[in-house]
Amino acid sequence: MKNSAQISAGAAEVAITPPADAPSIGTIQCSTGIHDDLFARALVLADGAQQFAIVSLDLIGLDFEQSDAIRKSIQVRSGIANIVLHCTHNHSAPFTIPWSVLGPRWVAGPGRAWRNSLAEKIAGLVALAKTRLEPVLLSSGRAPAQIGTNRRTLSGGAVVMKPNPEGPVVPFVDVLCVERRNGELLSLLFSHAAHPVIIHGSSRLISAEFPGFAAQSLKEKLGTNIVPVFGQAFAADINGDPLRGGLDAAQRAGAKLADAAYSATLNSSALTSQAFTLTSASVALPLLPLPSRNECQEVLRQAEQKLKDHYGADSFTDEQLWEMQNQTEMAKSQTESTAADDTQPMESKAWWMMDTVLCLRDLLKKVDQGDERPLRFDAQLLRMGDQWSMLTATHELFAEYQLRLDSEIPTRTKMMLAYSNGCESYIPTDRELTLGGYEAATFPALGGASLRYRHRRALRRGCEQMVFETLRSLWKAA
């Protein structure tokens, strides 16, 4: 394997595990302990003229505010301006995305110190990785892999969240191998597309899920000094299998993914380009118009009535809902087999009813304020000539975007990561927006994700073309 001595790399990792009682998005309950640590892992690449850092966090995601703040801290501490702050979309971690109203309250309250500590830890991690820069050889590869299934099934004219074996998946793992000049592997960047929901509501222990288990398995195969960096690909409509299968199932999936990444490593091809090209793009994606005040009030009235019927009370202030949620969390493990998750009708669950009311109240505020702000969408491209490229984008993108781009991208090998530098919405295709369902429904539907994400409504049809044009523009600029 030959490469230019100009290419150098450094890597490091640090635990970012939250307190043992932190609630996770998979159970929406306080955790009962730590099964395995959550990590931040950083890989810094340099070509003599510029430097690039990718940081992978074992978290569900970050809002733009925190993502921007952490990247600023990284730049101040390390001097690196080109940064991808990526999350594995781990569902066995705290609410660090602006999904729901009730969910993020721990990180805004008791968990605020932990949340605030992330910027300093991650900035220090990247600075450490930079001090470890050394000449390296790069190679890239791909191998077949599938640990998940498409989760959108058309049933009775509506999309439901159930396994769809015929639906699109991303059936491979991509790798970038970073090898020291003495032949030792320094780091392995590997990506695949599947929601880390194999544990989900089946355990109240904090865990890095299958990406963390894959990283552990790769250390066993390739050496304990390696820093394995996982990147979640375009997995918005793909669930890891089996959903809520438990810790053992997640470990098996991680080992399976590690085997595929190891195979891709053994069959990787050398990259001989001497420099990186860095490009970025941003676009404002239009959301559906806000509903009328009367429409929102009526849907809110119905949701509040349902909550009143359940609890036998006349009305609830926001403060009372917060307190009721505390009581619900304490009783949930005895009264419900799982907490709010993506596969069950949430209308019957107390937590979901409370959160729905709070989300609708927030939507009504947006209506009164005329808050028609669009959705920010950012993308970056790191490219080495015609040999390798890494495309990264914000939010939760559907698999079809990756599959179509994969056939168009001109580099010999490539990888694509979503959940990068911010996650505040799903990005469905126009067809899926028409069909609806959890990832693509909008007001007045109450079971969709768009009501829970910060903007409280889905994208307009026509955004698909804007997304593709934005991503394709990176190649024209490179």
Q: What is the Cα–Cα distance from 75 to 61, expressed in whole angstroms?
A: 20
Distance of CA 31 to the CA centre of its chain: 20
Render each residue's pLDDT in the chain as its tens digit; 478 residues.
334 448 999 999 999 999 999 999 998 889 999 999 999 999 999 999 999 999 999 999 999 999 999 999 999 999 999 999 999 999 999 999 999 999 999 999 999 999 999 999 999 999 999 999 999 999 999 999 999 999 999 999 899 999 999 999 999 999 999 999 999 999 999 999 999 999 998 999 999 999 999 999 999 999 999 999 999 999 999 999 999 999 999 999 999 999 999 999 999 999 999 899 999 999 999 999 999 999 999 999 999 999 888 887 767 787 787 777 666 554 443 333 333 344 443 334 788 889 999 999 999 999 999 999 999 999 999 999 999 999 999 999 999 999 999 999 999 999 999 999 999 999 999 999 999 999 999 999 998 999 999 999 999 999 999 999 999 999 887 6
From residue 44, how far is each of 52, 63, 414 by CA, in Å?
6, 23, 18
Structure tokens at 63: 């809002």
Q: How is 438-474 classified by DSSP, letter by letter?
A: TTT--TT-SSSHHHHBTTSSPBPTTHHHHHHHHHHHH
Q: What is the pLDDT of residue 337?
A: 33
- Amino acid, single-letter form, for residue 114: W
Phi-psi region of 244 (alpha: psi -120 to 50; beta: other; left: phi over 0): left
From residue 325, how far is each of 24, 328, 332, 345, 452 by CA, in Å?
15, 5, 10, 19, 17
> In terms of DSSP H, where are the helices of 97-188?
105-108, 112-131
Q: Interior CA angle at 234 toward 61 and 256, to 5°?
A: 95
Q: Which residues contact 333 (CB under 8 A, 6 or more apart)?
A: 29, 204
Q: What is the pLDDT of residue 274?
A: 83
Answer whether 91's CB lies under 8 Å from 195's CB.
yes
Q: How does DSSP classify residue 36?
A: S
Q: Which residues contact 232 (CB under 8 A, 6 or more apart)?
A: 86, 87, 88, 89, 191, 192, 193, 196, 211, 417, 418, 419
Q: What is the pLDDT of residue 321?
A: 78
Q: Which residues of 291-328 are buried (b: 16+ CB within 10 A; e: fewer)?
A: beeeebeebbeebbebbeeeeeeeebeeeebbebbeeb
Angle (deg, nearest 10), helices 112-131 and 64-78: 40
Q: Which residues contact 59 (CB under 8 A, 6 or more apart)?
A: 16, 38, 87, 88, 90, 93, 94, 96
Q: Which residues contact 312 (CB under 8 A, 6 or more apart)?
A: none
At 294 the three-state DSSP class reads: helix
Q: What is the Cα–Cα distance from 130 to 125, expressed in whole angstroms?
A: 9
Answer whether 448's CB lies under 8 Å from 437's CB.
yes
Q: What is the largest CA-CA distance in the chain?
A: 74
